[in-house]
Amino acid sequence: MSKPAIGFIGLGIMGKPMARNLMKAGYALTVHNRSRGAVEELVRDGAQDGRSPRGVAERSEIIITMLPDSPDVQQVVMAPGGVLEGIKPKSVLVDMSTISPIVTQDIARAVEAKDAEMLDAPVSGGEKGAVEATLSIMIGGRDDVVDRVRPIFEALGKNIVHIGGHGAGQVTKACNQIVVALTIQAVSEALALAAKAGVDAAKVRQALLGGFAQSRILDAHGQRMLDRNFKPGFKVRLHQKDLNIALSTAKTLAVPLPATAVVQEAFTALRGLGRGDLDHSALVTLIEDLAKVEVR
Amino acid sequence: MSKPAIGFIGLGIMGKPMARNLMKAGYALTVHNRSRGAVEELVRDGAQDGRSPRGVAERSEIIITMLPDSPDVQQVVMAPGGVLEGIKPKSVLVDMSTISPIVTQDIARAVEAKDAEMLDAPVSGGEKGAVEATLSIMIGGRDDVVDRVRPIFEALGKNIVHIGGHGAGQVTKACNQIVVALTIQAVSEALALAAKAGVDAAKVRQALLGGFAQSRILDAHGQRMLDRNFKPGFKVRLHQKDLNIALSTAKTLAVPLPATAVVQEAFTALRGLGRGDLDHSALVTLIEDLAKVEVR
């Protein structure tokens, strides 16, 4: 079976290494990006220049989008010169961006109206996971379509889970970002209290790791807090964007998320303080500033 | 070296099996409890009846208290007929209750004024850990005193960590309860959102366990939520009591804990709904009720 022609739109911090991994795996790529630098770089390595989202779609059986937010994906797919104008019947749009599950379902309907297919397949694992092809991929869409695209996912990631229908991947990603954000907040509140009480926060982290409070966040981000290492990692402003998706989806569905809302406000405060480009573990610095203490 | 005589005050769900484990390990016990049933039971098995906290202290080198809350420990130690009236120089009061670290430091000062010693040594692991002698024990107090009492801790638990000075054990326990509560809330908000969005919550839990959202709470309490198993475990009203300690300590130290406060209010709502005796994983039912959905 010959490998399908792949289109790739969105060559940012995540998209560019993912596109490279696909080329490394032997796929022919047609690419597009808003700024030209990344396109020229990949063209030098053998990719085709699609010139527009429409141009990419016309030349591809599988079209991957990796874009910042819901409006970007809507624009690239729906606007004049967009993917919808070029997509062929039976082709698959695979949106690997993290966007609203509700917007995802709108786009899926528009794609299916063209006799084409859609999957939502947001990832976690960050730039490191993108470079090393170890991303976790959470997928929404039809079984048979997931099966067709699976070899491509396997060139990009490791933990590949098909959750359910259209939007289910995005819902899972939103759930992931809720749990990660609240767990960072939990560790922040606990270690700040320990520090202000004059208790060794490193010993508290160690003791808690041995019991029911154990989490990967307590382990990794707890250590980041102790090391004062807020180099991203995953930036505050990106996590805030992801919680916006979670909260607006929850509002549409009438699900109250009181603790998520508190952490979203904490991210807002961090951005106001000029810390939007720090790692999300910098949540601890907000409590530290207010409590006049430092976790060490 | 002969084994020190142990006093044990507070023979409730936790205290009684702990006292039994000490007798099993060959210690001579003098016991006291507000209601007489548990005392008579242990006396039949060979314990002495101390008749009062003072009576227990007079007959013991190590006096263990295992009581519900700060006022109970204050009463048993400080009131007329209390431990302070009977405690001998060089004896050790080991408070294994979960109480305020600030109250703990007050009591430690009063005990040291009698030329005796104090350790705070709250536990986690619940009734199961008490019965099986697998409790985690978080200790505050002086090194040499911890060394003296260590064989006794080893008859009661497994993960025995000396954190720091007076109150450090209680601070660590408060941190533990903060992290556990917020992680349960995180999992509750995430799985309720998934369920309301029509996505399989069991698959979301499974996918999240493979990544940065992993925690023992997502594993165990996430499964409880899916199984609708809210039989305690650890009761809502006890966790609320422990968050009261965390929040009042934090208020005294001027450390803001915004997310902990939100979960405390959720526990309050659960008690109002008559769910105070359910397992703390029942936090999810509050969001479910409001969102008219059930995680399954």
Determine the straight-line distance between the first and last CA of chain A, rounded to whole angstroms: 57
Using one digit for the tens of pLDDT, what is the confidence trace for B116-150?
A: 999 999 999 888 899 999 999 999 999 999 999 99
**A209 vs B: CB within 8 A:** no
Query: What is the pTM assigned to this prediction?
Result: 0.95
pLDDT over 80 (residue A1): no
Query: Are A175 and B194 a contacting pair at CB < 8 A?
Result: yes
- What pLDDT is attached to residue A119? 98
Closest CA of chain A from B29, distance in Å = 29
- Chain B CB contacts of A238 under 8 Å are none
- What pLDDT is attached to residue A292? 95
- Nearest-CB residue to A193 (from B175, B200, B292): B175
Q: Which of A114, A173, A231, A241 is catalytic?
A: A173
pLDDT band at A2 (very low <50, low <70, confident <90, very high): confident
- Chain B CB contacts of A223 under 8 Å are none
Residue of B nearest to A264 (CA): B259
Q: What residues 227-266 of chain B have any CB closer than 8 A to a CB of chain A?
A: 246, 249-250, 253-260, 262-263, 266
Using one digit for the tens of pLDDT, what is the confidence trace for A105-157?
A: 999 999 999 999 999 999 998 889 999 999 999 999 999 999 999 999 999 99
Query: Are B256 and A174 a contacting pair at CB < 8 A?
Result: no
A145: amino acid identity, one letter: V
- CB burial of residue A26 (10 Å; 0-12, 13-18, 19+): exposed
Query: Are A208 and B175 a contacting pair at CB < 8 A?
Result: yes
**A135 vs B: CB within 8 A:** no
Using one digit for the tens of pLDDT, what is the confidence trace for B81-125?
A: 999 999 999 999 999 999 999 999 999 999 999 999 999 999 998
pLDDT band at B2 (very low <50, low <70, confident <90, very high): confident
In angstroms, the CA A122 to CA A112 distance is 20
Between chain A and chain B, the number of residue pairs with CB atoms below 8 A apart is 256
Domain boundaries, chain A: 6-166, 171-291
Percentage of residues in chain B with pLDDT exceeding 70? 100
Using one digit for the tens of pLDDT, what is the confidence trace for B227-284?
A: 999 999 899 999 999 999 999 999 999 999 999 999 999 999 999 999 999 999 999 9
Query: Are B193 and A220 a contacting pair at CB < 8 A?
Result: no
- What pLDDT is attached to residue A126? 87
So what CATH class is A6-166? alpha beta
Mean predicted confidence (pLDDT) in A70-75? 98
Q: Does B171-291 match B6-166 at the fold level?
A: no
Q: What residues 51-110 of chain B have any CB closer than 8 A to a CB of chain A?
A: 101
- Nearest-CB residue to B218 (from A179, A250, A260): A179
Using one digit for the tens of pLDDT, what is the confidence trace for A163-218?
A: 999 999 999 999 999 999 999 999 999 999 999 999 999 999 999 999 999 999 99
Query: Are A178 and B194 a contacting pair at CB < 8 A?
Result: no
Mean predicted confidence (pLDDT) in B196-218? 96
Q: What is the mean pLDDT of chain B?
A: 97
Percentage of residues in chain A with pLDDT exceeding 70? 100
In CATH terms, is domain A171-291 a member of 1.10.1040.10?
A: yes
Query: Are A193 and B246 a contacting pair at CB < 8 A?
Result: yes
Using one digit for the tens of pLDDT, what is the confidence trace for B183-196?
A: 999 999 999 999 99
Backbone angles phi, psi at A40, to 5 degrees: -60, -35
Torsion sign over Cα A35, A38, A43, A44? positive
ipTM: 0.95
Using one digit for the tens of pLDDT, what is the confidence trace for A204-214?
A: 999 999 999 99
Active site includes A173?
yes
pLDDT over 80 (residue B199): yes
Using one digit for the tens of pLDDT, what is the confidence trace for B31-76?
A: 999 999 999 999 999 999 999 999 999 999 999 999 999 999 999 9
- What pLDDT is attached to residue B1? 60
DSSP per-residue codes, chain A: -PPPPEEEE--STTHHHHHHHHHHTT--EEEE-SSHHHHHHHHHTT-EE-SSHHHHHHT-SEEEE--SSHHHHHHHHHSTTSHHHHPPTT-EEEE-S---HHHHHHHHHHHHTTT-EEEE--EESHHHHHHHT-EEEEEES-HHHHHHHHHHHHTTEEEEEEEESTTHHHHHHHHHHHHHHHHHHHHHHHHHHHHHTT--HHHHHHHHHTSTT-BHHHHHHHHHHHHT--S-SSBHHHHHHHHHHHHHHHHHHT---HHHHHHHHHHHHHHHTT-TTSBGGGHHHHHHHHHT----
